[in-house]
Structure 1
Amino acid sequence: MQKQESNQQGKFGAFFQLVKKTNPSYGKLAFAIVLSIITTLVSLMIPLMTKDLVDGFSTSSFSAGQIALVAVVFIVQALLSAYATYALNYSGQKIIAGLRDLLWRKLVRLPVSYFDNKASGETISRITNDTLIVKELITNHITGFITGAISIIGSLVILLIMNWRLTLIVFIVVPLAAAIMIPIGRKMFLISRETQDETAQFTGLLNHILPEIRLVKSSNAEAIEYKRGKNGIDKLFKLGLREAKVQSLVMPLMTLVIMAALVTVIGYGGMQVSSGVITAGALVAFILYLFQIIMPIGQITQFFTQLQKSLGATERMIEILGEKEEDLDSGLPVTDAKESLFLKDLSFSYKSGSPVIKNINAEIAAGKVTAIVGPSGGGKTTLFKLLERYYEPTEGMISLGDERISRYSLESWRKQIGYVSQESPLIAGTIRENICYGLDRDVSDQELEEAAKMSYALKFIQELPNTFDTEVGERGIMLSGGQRQRIAIARALLRNPQILMLDEATSSLDSQSEQSVQEALDTLMVGRTTIIIAHRLSTVIDADQLLFVENGEITGRGTHAELMESHELYRQFATQQLKINADLEERAG
């Protein structure tokens, strides 16, 4: 029991610490709560004023001052309530914006390894759905709890002063209503948590499928994906039904309690009115106060339900915020990247006990072209990820000259690298935004056109209706594969990097464009350290050094001619691929 209480206190502490990090407007929040309390206190006056009106009920007894006073009270209550609601919503929106800012800043700084094991849709749900749950607690339920408690206590005190005997009936009603609402609130909490998790999973599914809708259609997988989505929809529907069943009990049960209380109060109160113990106005006031006691019980129950949901949502957000992020700024600045790269006893595993890179030693000479070749799955792309510092080596190190690259700041190191991958990733936006992506300086139209010209993208860009301001669509879907590749090459050219990393950068181009882009890349590679992952040996036979990688190890190194003589598997690869390329060229001719 003590452990549960300690755990709950820990959750409360974590929740308030998280809210504190958003720098909320304490003054406005406190002012809104105070206004809500004042509004509640004003509302406690209304039954007493109604009592006086009823007791003096006659045409001659009505006075303009009395009516004006009642009207003023109602207007003041409405105005205070309106401003309190606005102030609370302002505070809630500020806190939710702060939470989202914290999470977003964290997510963009988390290492690639974090996203390897997390579905992006579920992560998105944490920023959108979970933060809304916290907002609901702050804007709707905190004041409901405070004002509800004040309303119940204030009403009971006034009733005790007015008539303690009649008040005893209310003391029976309150525990009865609480006994009904509290178990229902707990049940709603469990269902809400389950719904919350299922919604996150369903969001993840949508985020997984919709961006790849073309793959779905080309694979005739509509029925399969519909079934997966329908399964999620059905689960949410069943949870919705469970919630509806519980909610369907609330109003009938509360109505039953209220009606029983009303009948009892009216019956017993009527007897006291007829015997002259209390006035008719006092009975009306009792009935009004009864409502001011029973109705807040529901608000208080909702508060605790929403609080539990918020604590659960907070746990998930704290998990994300507790992840170790990349430190982009700490470290030495790269002053000279025109030095050789050294791989020393380099090993790496994505999972413990399953090495992808095994004890690699190599020199990547400065200003030269090094090609990494070999069978698929051998570890070529993983080497690129280690050079980009998406991951840290499990053993060994990579150094620039005599300095470990891990000693340089990530921002400074990555500025030295121009990376063009097979996928040519683009962001939703214009061609201009994609070519200039990530640069912290203004790019002139002349620079932009020069980069596009060197990558042989300028011609097709100028043929588009809005040229550089043409939208490329989600993930660049409005462009062809070759066009996306040329945009990616233009982006790398504009960075003017000292280290070029090309993952078969011309793989998506037709033969004419490939030749043109290869000439541009040849020009770009002069004087730069260039590392190429080559799936087609014909593109790298002139490289200064080839590293043959298989099963995570370098089994051969040298020029094309040297490997043809010394490495049996490379000779088979080269002979087969060069023959295929020759056949294709002959057919094309």
Structure 2
Amino acid sequence: MSRADAAPGDEPAAQPPRRGGWETFRRLFLGYVAPHWKVGLVAVAFMIALSATQTGFVSVIRPLLDEGFVKQDPATIRFYAAVLIGLVLFQGVAHFVSHYLISWIGRMLVKRIRLDVHDRLLVMPSAVFDRHSAGRLVSKLTYEAEQVAGAVTQAAVTLVQDLAMVVFLVGYMAYLSPRLMVIVVFVLPVVGGIIAYVTQRFRKLSKRIHRSVGGVGSVAEESVHGYPIIKGFGQAERERRRFEQVNERNRRQSLKFQATKFAAVPLVRLAAGSALALIIYLVTFESLVEVVTVGTFASFAGALMMLNQPLKSLIGINATLQRGIAAAQSIFQVVDTPGEEDTGTRQIERAAGEVALRGVRFSYDGEREVLRGIDLAASPGERIALVGPSGGGKSTLVSLLPRFYEPTAGEIRLDGVALPAYRLADLRRQLAMVSQDVTLFNTTVAENIRFGAPGPVTEEQIRQAAEAASARGFIEALPHGFETEIGEDGVMLSGGQRQRVAIARAVLRDAPILILDEATSALDTESERAIQQALERLMAGRTAFIIAHRLSTVERADRIVFLEQGRIVEAGTHGELLARDGRYAALYRMQLGAEPAAGAGQGQEG
């Protein structure tokens, strides 16, 4: 149901509070990673083993040089050559097992996050969709979910494997030469300071990047869905400039992120290189030369240089981690959004169809009222036509019936019971909707018709529904009949065909209350006639609310209600309203091309 009456930029529902970085990571870990702790423990064990082999390579250098090459002992050299081969083989197995298991956890996490977000999208109040563009919401299922997976998998590998490697290497260096280790101790705080600064900057830039990516997705989606309007009005260049602006904003933020990331790495290397240079200088002193053998120095220098890679990874993963946390915060904003209020306990199989609105008022933003005290009652099987100028509140009124929105005052009753008393699923099962903007899914014609059914249906029932909707003829003429794939939003069908599929869907739903929102306004005369006949069959025996701007389509309604500026101006049958010569009569004559009565054009908004 469209929200034509709402002002742009309105934010009717408050967003849930944003969580801190540590709290977000804790929730992510406990809620999405911890359930796979058994797999995680195996992965961690192999990652620690993998880190130990890295230190093992360095530790082999000392005896290989001192006992093998310096003493020229071939047996020792061959032994340590075999040890190196063994380390390489074990390292390969440990690398495969640990990384595969961590990736498995990451994909399980992405799957669970996407399910949680998608489940929340299905129950979120309509006001949330009014506030967020579809592009931004979809990006949470795709781009941001992958960012979270990267944060978990890469962070796990780095924080366990590389941190273990740093501990092993530092411990081995302290074992080799406590004196030389003092130099390294002075270098580590410098590295820690660099990491702390980079962490803060990464967090800030990550949030900006997520906002800019959402902007790119939003504009791109509008360009894809609105291409006929863009082309028809010759606004391709304008849209290109608009997309260029959000695209450039994303480029700038991404480059700032990468610049920070790449600048941090050489700073860490400079600190480690300076430490190595100082060590080389110090070993020239006689007091150290006597204790530091060639093998010891080579092992120590090798271990120090090997620290570069894990330290670089720790900084690099911090970038990924901060990006992932920012993505998780954005995702949890959706997951934590309260769902639609569904506290009703009353069950109903099939309503009689009596609908009553009493003093109903509604506002999207809490300030400007769209409906202003609506009193309206529909008897079972009665056809109520809602007419009047655009912005009068017609679509808003019918969107209150399935509780897409809640009245800000007054109440709506179905069969004498207030709508909130019913279970939401039971209430909505009583309604079927056909609107001007038909939504079809990228599947077969049969599946699109079956979508409206409250339970399992047979192929014969689908064909009967299509027959009732005057759709069976063109459907059976399609390449694969009812099993023809119709593309995204039914792009393979014409406007009239799409509308008839939507009517067939409503027929199969067999609901006692029918909402028709401009169901024929965008069609040619021939298609409109065929669809009008189908709608007549559909409305038989049902309470129907019909929104129409073409007054010729509502002449046979049991009652016509003229809405203007959120109020009921007049109501009656077609003949009664013409005889009254009020707003309806003036608008009717205007549409027929006759000379309008005085003031007939007042209040028209297109």
| Superposed pair shares fold, TM > 0.5 | yes
Per the alignment, residue 27 of structure 1 pairs with 38
How far the C-alpha of 1:86 sits from its partner, in A, is 0.8
User: 2: CA distance between counterparts of 1:394 and 1:89?
Assistant: 49
Residue type of the partner of 1:333?
A: Q
How far the C-alpha of 1:259 sits from its partner, in A, is 3.3
Residue number among 432, 449, 454 corresponding to 1:435 in the alignment: 449
Change (3 A) 1:454 1:48: same
1:178 equivalent to 2:192? Answer yes
How far the C-alpha of 1:424 sits from its partner, in A, is 1.9
Per the alignment, residue 475 of structure 2 pairs with 461
Per the alignment, residue 169 of structure 2 pairs with 155
Checking the alignment, whether the CA contact within 8 Å between 1:384 and 1:501 is kept in structure 2 is yes
1:126 equivalent to 2:140? Answer yes
Checking the alignment, whether the CA contact within 8 Å between 1:418 and 1:500 is kept in structure 2 is yes
CA RMSD of aligned residues (A): 2.5
User: 2: CA distance between counterparts of 1:178 and 1:8?
Assistant: 28
Checking the alignment, whether the CA contact within 8 Å between 1:40 and 1:150 is kept in structure 2 is yes
How far the C-alpha of 1:204 sits from its partner, in A, is 1.5
Checking the alignment, whether the CA contact within 8 Å between 1:372 and 1:533 is kept in structure 2 is yes
Percent identity of equivalent pairs: 29
Moved more, 427-436 or 293-302: 293-302
Checking the alignment, whether the CA contact within 8 Å between 2:452 and 2:505 is kept in structure 1 is no
1:83 equivalent to 2:97? Answer yes
Checking the alignment, whether the CA contact within 8 Å between 2:265 and 2:312 is kept in structure 1 is no
Give ranges in structure 1 of 5+ residues lacking alignment. 1-6, 582-589
How far the C-alpha of 1:9 sits from its partner, in A, is 9.5
Residue number among 189, 198, 223 corresponding to 2:237 in the alignment: 223
Per the alignment, residue 412 of structure 1 pairs with 426
Checking the alignment, whether the CA contact within 8 Å between 2:353 and 2:542 is kept in structure 1 is no
Change (3 A) 1:516 1:297: closer
Helix, strand or coil: the match of 1:442?
coil
How far the C-alpha of 1:273 sits from its partner, in A, is 10
Change (3 A) 1:336 1:233: closer
User: 2: CA distance between counterparts of 1:12 and 1:55?
Assistant: 48
Per the alignment, residue 479 of structure 1 pairs with 493
Per the alignment, residue 368 of structure 2 pairs with 354
Superposed CA offset, 1:46-104 (max 9, x none): 22222111112125343654432332122112211221111111111111211111111
TM-score by length of structure 2 reads 0.89
User: 2: CA distance between counterparts of 1:462 and 1:143?
Assistant: 56
Per the alignment, residue 17 of structure 1 pairs with 27
Per the alignment, residue 344 of structure 1 pairs with 358
Moved more, 182-191 or 533-542: 182-191
1:504 equivalent to 2:514? Answer no
1:260 equivalent to 2:271? Answer no
Change (3 A) 1:80 1:270: farther
Checking the alignment, whether the CA contact within 8 Å between 1:19 and 1:95 is kept in structure 2 is no
Checking the alignment, whether the CA contact within 8 Å between 2:151 and 2:325 is kept in structure 1 is no
TM-score by length of structure 1 reads 0.91
User: 1: CA distance between counterparts of 2:194 and 2:229?
Assistant: 52
Residue type of the partner of 1:38?
A: A
Superposed CA offset, 1:466-514 (max 9, x none): 2222232222222221111111111111111111111232334433343
User: 1: CA distance between counterparts of 2:180 and 2:530?
Assistant: 95
Q: Number of residues paired by the alignment?
A: 575
Checking the alignment, whether the CA contact within 8 Å between 1:24 and 1:95 is kept in structure 2 is no
Change (3 A) 1:336 1:479: closer
Counterpart mapping for 1:63-212 below 5 A: 64-212=78-226
Change (3 A) 1:576 1:157: closer
1:297 equivalent to 2:311? Answer yes
Give ranges in structure 2 of 5+ residues lacking alignment. 1-16, 596-606
1:312 equivalent to 2:323? Answer no
How far the C-alpha of 1:258 sits from its partner, in A, is 3.7
Per the alignment, residue 276 of structure 1 pairs with 290
User: 1: CA distance between counterparts of 2:509 and 2:137?
Assistant: 31
Residue type of the partner of 2:148?
A: V
Residue type of the partner of 2:178?
A: W
Residue type of the partner of 1:25?
A: H
Residue number among 43, 62, 71 corresponding to 1:51 in the alignment: 62
Checking the alignment, whether the CA contact within 8 Å between 2:202 and 2:322 is kept in structure 1 is no
User: 1: CA distance between counterparts of 2:203 and 2:24?
Assistant: 19
Moved more, 140-149 or 339-348: 140-149
Helix, strand or coil: the match of 2:283?
helix
Moved more, 106-115 or 31-40: 31-40
Residue type of the partner of 1:37?
A: I
Helix, strand or coil: the match of 2:400?
helix
Helix, strand or coil: the match of 1:62?
helix
Per the alignment, residue 48 of structure 2 pairs with 37
User: 2: CA distance between counterparts of 1:439 and 1:329?
Assistant: 25
Change (3 A) 1:80 1:393: same
Per the alignment, residue 239 of structure 1 pairs with 253
Superposed CA offset, 1:93-146 (max 9, x none): 111211111111111111211100111111222222222222112211233123
